């Protein structure tokens, strides 16, 4: 585990026999996904900020980023970025009801089993 504080927390919860929240375990990241995460955070800099908070990543910014990519890869990138963006915006919302067990943005990059 990369985060020593998370490792300590996991050990403490396990010692108490309590459920360890999924967010304390590092996700298994698909090969190539780290670059897409970097791209997501770079695209986040194009958001409009208003008195009501941050808006979604502009479609024009995403399309400019994937210009020249193969169709299949650009479509998958668009789907993943929009899912990450929706999760990010939901988490930023003051009315956010983030699920207790997990982070949907992180799940988009987990290796699927089975």
Please check whether residue 66 lies inside any domain of the structure: yes
Q: Which helix (H) or strand (E) holds 14?
A: helix 4-15
Please check whether residue 3 lies inside any domain of the structure: no
Please check whether residue 8 lies inside any domain of the structure: no
- Over the chain, what is the mean pLDDT? 81
Percent of the chain with pLDDT over 90: 37
Nearest CA to 88 among 101, 70, 105?
105
Q: Is the pLDDT of residue 1 over 50?
A: no
pLDDT of residue 28: 73
Please check whether residue 10 lies inside any domain of the structure: no
Q: Is the pLDDT of residue 114 over 50?
A: no
Please check whether residue 65 lies inside any domain of the structure: yes
CA dist 72 and 57 (Å) reads 21
pLDDT of residue 95: 62
Please check whether residue 63 lies inside any domain of the structure: yes
pTM: 0.60
Please check whether residue 45 lies inside any domain of the structure: yes
Please check whether residue 75 lies inside any domain of the structure: yes
Mean pLDDT of 36-43: 92
Q: What are the tens digits of pLDDT across the range 48-102? A: 988 888 899 999 999 999 999 999 999 999 999 999 999 888 888 766 454 444 5
At 19, the pLDDT band (50, 70, 90 cuts) reads confident
Domain that holds residue 80: 29-107
Domain count, the chain: 1
CA dist 4 and 70 (Å) reads 40
């Amino acid at each position: 585990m990369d985060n020593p504080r998370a490792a300590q927390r996991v050990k403490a919860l396990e010692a108490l026999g309590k459920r360890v929240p999924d967010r304390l375990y590092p996700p298994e990241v698909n090969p190539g996904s780290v670059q897409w995460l970097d791209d997501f955070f770079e695209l986040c800099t194009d958001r409009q900020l208003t008195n009501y908070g941050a808006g979604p990543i502009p479609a024009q910014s995403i399309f400019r980023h994937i210009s020249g990519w193969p169709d299949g890869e650009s479509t998958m990138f668009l789907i993943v970025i929009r899912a990450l963006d929706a999760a990010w915006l939901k988490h930023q919302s003051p009315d956010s009801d983030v699920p207790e067990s997990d982070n949907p943005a992180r799940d988009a990059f987990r290796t699927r089993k089975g």
